[in-house]
Chain A
Amino acid sequence: MTKQATPTPSRAGAEEASSTGVIEKETVETADRAQLQREHEEKKAEQKGRIEELDAETLLKLLHQMILIRRFEEKCAESYSLGKIGGFCHLYIGQEAVAVGALAAIREDDYVLTSYRDHGHALVRGTSPDEIMAELYGKASGCSAGKGGSMHLFDAEKNFLGGHAIVGGQIPLATGVAFASKYKGTDQVTLCFFGEAAVNQGAFHESMNMAQLWRLPCIYICENNQYGMGTSLERAMSLQDVSQKACAYELASEFIDGMDVLAVREVVARAAERARKHYLPTLLEVRTYRFMGHSMSDPGNYRSRAEIEKYQERDPIKLFTASLREKNILDDNRLAEIENEVREAIEHATRFADESPEPDPKELYTHIYANQ
């Protein structure tokens, strides 16, 4: 599993991209439909192979979670435009399979940390949509008491150690959480999610080194959606195979298609076993795509239509729905049921958030020190 720590040539194109400044990317105007259809069929065939290993209930739960995130985020976009949500709001649409697949592979007592793009992770971790929406609305009943907002969802009961807004900031933190598990002698593992742009921070490299040096049970999951704000991976990273960065630290690593929820689950399960049994860290590069702008205020005109269409064709929910249908696990009725349940949950959450009171003014001065 561990790749050899030999130097590898970077991907073609990296050479020119490594010069500073803009690289004019050739943008194909329209996506090749037939090609996309062929790819879809291939991906589905792969995913159907994995379906065998799981029971229908588990599979439908994964679908339910993915749809919950999708609809929740759509609601967030709407509420943001109504001014009910403020500040920065980063949506997870397109990346659902990553959080859903990964969190399906760990135990409830394991730990999870992520970046500011955190709504999906919190939802799957089991924080109630009510409390998440209330947090986004800046209400006292929010999961961070209205103090954190979209970028700082926390839920100690669910071992969800936060959304963090400094790019790369959560990586050393997660390493520390894993260190503590080993120190205490438990077999809990830590999942640390971050974007590919965070890989350029020193904090990432320093953490990889310590994790392997001290054999810490941490799984680093790079959600490679190929853009850090408006900057594409090629324009910011000399060696773009993120999983290969592990070689420098002798870490185990794998590359996964992040549009296939079952593929993600399978690989994270493997990494979790390694962490639990042998206190070994893993770096996973999960290739995905965000369908929306970087945040609600990003017009997103640095990507071509064709590129976005290509990935929409590979929509993780569309793929999984098709696979489940072909395996006769899902039909129209069941899908409608799921959509209904999700709609009700989100309506409830929105009402709850709307009706909850703002934080009491004296809360401004609470939570600064532990024993105030």
Chain B
Amino acid sequence: MAVMTMREALNQALREELQRDEKVFLMGEEVAAYQGAYKVSKGLLEEFGNKRVIDTPITELGFAGLGVGAAMVGLRPIVEFMTFNFSILATDQIINSAAKMLYMSGGQYNIPIVFRGPNGSAFQVSSQHSQAMESWYAYFPGIKVVMPSTPADAKGLLKSAIRDDDPVIFLEQERMYGNKGEVPEDEDFTIPLGVADVKREGKDATIVARSLMVPVALKAAEELEKQGVSCEVIDPRTIRPLDIETIINSVKKTNRVVIAEESHPFCGVGAEISAEIMERAFDFLDAPVRRVSGADVPMPYAKNLEKLAIPDINTIVKAVREVAYLD
């Protein structure tokens, strides 16, 4: 084990997988010479050369599609989006090509590709640069969606994503790149996709949180502990496939659920989890499922408004107290 940042853990996963498999290559804007807009690919150009670590023009649709094509004939591309806001330009190739290829070719062409980069809000970068895209991609069968919240998860999940034979959307979070944690250094360390992690055990209420909201939920749980409420915090880690069993088992134990997410509520991942809980564990619920989501508005620039748009410890504490009928 070594303590490192999320950024370093991701970097290590990339390095190890590039070393392990000649078919793996990394491409994206500023990934090589500049070492990544957020320095996730630091040192990789130097180590692997410009055949395998490739700076692209600003041409998202083009290089996303190029990656899918390369994956059709045996390569294993890792495509970095400088941020997932720019993946919007590439959705045609991700959705119409990558997600559908295996099915519409009757099983002949699978697409082993990873699209990765920061998702969600950053710091005051306003509407076009602060979008949480997970529900877009998770909507489509044929794509897997991963959202790590700790350095160890980031490393283990990214390695699995790269080894996976299907298209994986791997969503990082700019605000979390500097977060530190213990990370196994074993090169065979991986975390399987589709397995949730209980980040904290508790008995009175379940908080389901992902990505940026996991550390916030954990702090809320600490606060609630002081108030006499014991919270279980579950991080699904993979949105599709979703480990609903782990969530349901927790709900059966605590009978109360809050889902915390940075994204908009409407048609969001929280709505999906909520529906699953309703279908599978309705009889176990002592209170309606409660979502705490990012404001249902485009992200504003002004600092005070931005703060109001993203859930914080207090909003989660308040929601848990509500489902526990404490106020």
Contact = CB atoms under 8 A, between A and B. Distances in A.
B30 A231 contact: yes
Interface residues of B, number: 44
A336 interface: no
B62 A166 contact: no
A368 B128 contact: no
B58 A167 contact: yes
Given A229-B34, A365-B297, A201 B302 contact: no
A233 to B, nearest CB: 10
B57 A200 contact: yes
Contacts of B127: 147-148, 152
A337 B231 CA distance: 67
Contact of A139 (B57, B126, B302): B302
A131 to B, nearest CB: 14
Contacts of A364: 295, 297, 300, 305, 308-309
Interface string A138-177: 1110001011111110000000000011111100000000
B134 interface: no
A21 B32 contact: yes
B274 interface: no
Contacts of A228: 57-58
A202 B304 contact: no
Given A164-B128, A165-B126, A364-B308, A358 B302 contact: yes
B86 interface: yes
A202 B58 contact: no
B33 A22 contact: yes
A311 interface: no
Interface in B58-87: 58-62, 85-86
B59 A200 contact: yes
A152 B302 contact: no
Nearest to A231: B55
B128 A166 contact: yes
A49 interface: no
Given A88-B129, A165-B126, A302-B33, A138 B58 contact: no
Given A147-B300, A231-B30, A236 B51 contact: no
B57 A138 contact: no
A221 to B, nearest CB: 18
Contact of B301 (A87, A166, A229, A235): A87
B59 A202 contact: yes
A331 interface: no
Nearest to A368: B297
Contacts of A368: 297-298
A237 interface: yes
A22 B34 CA distance: 10
Contacts of B32: 21-22
- Secondary structure type dominating chain B contacts: loop
B124 interface: yes
B113 interface: no
Nearest to B25: A20
A151 B30 contact: no
A364 B300 CA distance: 7
Interface in A161-219: 164-169, 197-198, 200-202
A151 B85 CA distance: 15
Nearest to B46: A22
A237 B58 CA distance: 10
B199 to A, nearest CB: 30
Contacts of A166: 85-86, 88-89, 128
Given A21-B51, A22-B32, A359-B302, A87 B126 contact: yes
Interface in B25-43: 27, 29-30, 32-34, 37
Nearest to B309: A364
- Secondary structure type dominating chain A contacts: loop
Contacts of B301: 86-87, 135, 138, 144, 146-150, 152
B58 A198 contact: yes
B59 to A, nearest CB: 5
Contact of B29 (A144, A148, A231, A302): A231
A237 B258 CA distance: 50
A200 B305 contact: no
Given A22-B45, A363-B305, A236 B58 contact: yes
B53 A21 contact: yes
B175 interface: no
A101 to B, nearest CB: 26
A361 interface: yes
A22 B50 contact: yes
A168 B58 contact: yes
B125 interface: yes
Contacts of A165: 125-126, 128-129
Nearest to A135: B301
Interface string B279-299: 000000000000000010110
B54 interface: yes
Contact of B126 (A21, A147, A169, A201): A147
Contacts of B298: 368
A229 B30 contact: yes
A120 to B, nearest CB: 19
Contacts of B122: 87
B307 to A, nearest CB: 10
A147 B306 CA distance: 9
A64 B54 CA distance: 44
A187 to B, nearest CB: 32
20 contacts: A19-B50, A20-B54, A20-B55, A22-B45, A138-B302, A146-B305, A147-B300, A149-B125, A149-B301, A164-B128, A165-B126, A198-B58, A200-B59, A231-B33, A231-B34, A231-B57, A235-B33, A235-B55, A358-B302, A359-B304
Interface of B: 27, 29-30, 32-34, 37, 45, 49-51, 53-62, 85-86, 88-89, 122-129, 295, 297-298, 300-305, 308-309
Q: Which 5 A-B pairs have the closest CB atoms?
A: A21-B50, A149-B301, A86-B124, A138-B302, A87-B124
Given A166-B86, A231-B55, A358-B305, 18 more contacts: A21-B33, A86-B123, A87-B301, A140-B302, A147-B300, A147-B301, A149-B124, A166-B88, A166-B128, A198-B58, A230-B33, A231-B29, A235-B55, A236-B58, A302-B33, A302-B34, A358-B304, A359-B302
